[in-house]
Copies of this chain bind each other. A is one copy, B any other.
Amino acid sequence: MATKERKILVAVDESEESTYALSWCLKNVVTENSKDTLVLLYVKPPHTVYSALDGTGYLFSQEILATMDKYRKDVAETVIQKAKMLCKDLQDVKVETRVEIGDPRDVICDVGEKMCVDMMVVGSHGYGLIKRAFLGSVSNHCAQNSKCPVLIVKKPKNTAANSPRT
């Protein structure tokens, strides 16, 4: 029975799938009156994904690069704030947040291993069409490479992000 203290890593990002996965986890995995620790991890894509060169081969100006950095920082803050909001009703559960930079596939597995989490939760196809083309499927990668159990949560079609089925 689920009574032990567990450390659960939830990968969060700006997608609806990620929001659904976190909500589902809160309703189905996090145990009432437990001393679980929930680690909300957002991984910022590395700077090189956007590339320092535009399509015509010219270097982006410092101004544009600074704007892009600001945007990335804002996205990270928004994602983490939204995830924390979803967790606001948890009582005994400790919520930690982390923002890392890198390829989400590797960073999620690395952080999970380093923090010795008992389980990780990832939304299926949580990185959108364009990013997935760059990054591949995060959930597949984690399922194959993580050393701990991986829960892959798929958002059913036509379901509001905040309303998991159960």
A→B interface (CB under 8 Å): 1-4, 6, 24, 26-32, 90, 118-119, 124, 139-140, 143-144, 146-154, 156, 165-166
Complex-state Cα separation, A143 to B150, whole angstroms: 10
B165 touches A154 (CB 8 A): no
CA of A118 to CA of B139 in the docked complex: distance in angstroms? 19
**Beta-carbon contact of B24 and A2 below 8 Å:** no
CB distance A152 to B154 under 8 Å?
no
Query: Which secondary structure characterizes the binding site on chain A?
Result: loop
Q: Please give me the residue from chain B that is nearest to A151 by CB atom.
A: B151
Q: How far is the CB of A124 from chain B (nearest CB, A)?
A: 8
Return 11 A-B CB contacts under 8 Å, by A number.
A1-B90, A2-B2, A2-B28, A2-B32, A28-B118, A28-B149, A140-B143, A149-B154, A150-B152, A151-B151, A152-B152
Whole-angstrom distance from the CB of A24 to the nearest CB of chain B? 6
| Minimal Cβ-Cβ distance residue in B for A118 | B166
Residue of chain B at shortest CB distance from A150: B152
Chain B hits for A143, CB < 8 A: 124, 139-140, 143, 152
Contact of A166 among B4, B31, B146 (CB under 8 A): B4
A156 contacts across to B, CB distance below 8 A: 147
| Complex interface: chain B residues within 8 A of A118 (CB) | 28, 165-166
- Expressed in whole angstroms, the Cα–Cα distance for A12 and B156 within the complex equals 26
Minimum CB distance partner of A145 in chain B: B154
Compute how far the CA of A26 lies from the CA of B147 in the bound complex, rounded to whole angstroms: 19
16 A-B pairs besides A6-B28, A148-B154, A149-B151 with CB distance below 8 A are: A1-B26, A1-B27, A1-B30, A1-B32, A2-B30, A3-B32, A4-B28, A4-B166, A28-B149, A29-B29, A31-B32, A119-B151, A149-B152, A150-B152, A150-B154, A152-B152
